[in-house]
Amino acid sequence: MRLLFVGDVVGSPGRRALRDLLPGLREEHQPDWVVVNGENAAGGLGITSKLVRELLDDLDVDVITLGNHAYHRRDVYGLLDTEDRIVRPANYPKGNPGRGYTVVERDGRRLAVVNLSGMVFVQAARSPFAEIDAIIAELRDRADHLIVDFHAEATSEKVAMGWHVDGRVTACLGTHTHVPTADARVLPGGTAYISDVGMTGARGGVIVVRREQALERVRTMMPVKFETAEDDPWLNAVVVEADGEGRATGIEQVLMEAPG
Ligand SMILES: [Fe+2]
Ligand SMILES: [Fe+2]
């Protein structure tokens, strides 16, 4: 099994980078599945129904994951309930729009994708550690491979989650900070791990914001209107390889400059 997982796609520069680079990545890596974090797809904050359709239907993405910006656009709430190929953090309040995990199937092979939020410097309703235990038990006989998008801020919490799920999931991939980390590896139990995949968007900004606006804010401490950076778009992703038993055999980081 080969999976391409793309870090937070940010605004139109990120969507353009994904559209331009995805065909080449499919050709080079031959992924069975493509999973994309889309929490910043709409102008840097949240995702709209139109963009969900664009990713799933036009770009043929298998599953979209979200994060703390899941509910920024009201327009998508209905679709979060009806479209089973998009997930928001599983440990958000029960009864909120959407689902926390999903299982997609093709040619008799089943991939489970779980979205989970950390609790250090980000908010969640329940511990991600207890939550993932319950989900793994729930999915035990329902999927061949299980991957977790752990949307969290602190590397300490992410490393802890990696060890917590090692040997029980195929991959535990960090998102949210938009900065790729250099610690991709397969843990001893057979779980592919990285603290943060990074983002697909403009590297010339500060996380997602135009750098001159972010700098004015930190220099002056005055309110500044933030716009999405467009300068120097890159695609950040990982390719995970796994055996038929659900154990990862490799993880490779993909850091690519987008054309134009
Ligand atoms: Fe993000
Ligand atoms: Fe986030």
pTM for the structure as a whole: 0.97
Give every CB contact of residue 140 below 8 A, 6+ residues apart in sequence. Answer: none
> Which one from 69, 145, 176, 178 is the annotated catalytic residue?
69
Helix, strand, coil percent values for the chain (each to nearest 5)? 25, 30, 45
pLDDT by residue (tens digit) across 179-221?
Answer: 999 999 999 999 999 999 999 999 999 988 999 999 999 999 9
Which ligand lies nearest to the CA atom of residue 67 in the structure? 2
Q: List phi, psi (to 5°) of 39.
A: -65, -20
* Residue 141 CB burial class (10 angstroms; 0-12, 13-18, ≥19): exposed
Please tell me whether residue 124 adopts helix, strand or coil conformation. Answer: coil
Expressed in angstroms, the distance from the first to the final Cα of the chain is 32
The alpha carbon of 117 and the centre of ligand 2 are apart by a number of angstroms equal to 9
pLDDT by residue (tens digit) across 229-260?
Answer: 999 999 999 999 999 999 999 999 999 999 97
Residue 29 annotated among the catalytic residues of the structure:
no
The alpha carbon of 153 and the centre of ligand 1 are apart by a number of angstroms equal to 10
The alpha carbon of 88 and the centre of ligand 2 are apart by a number of angstroms equal to 11
**pLDDT band for position 108 (cuts 50, 70, 90):** very high
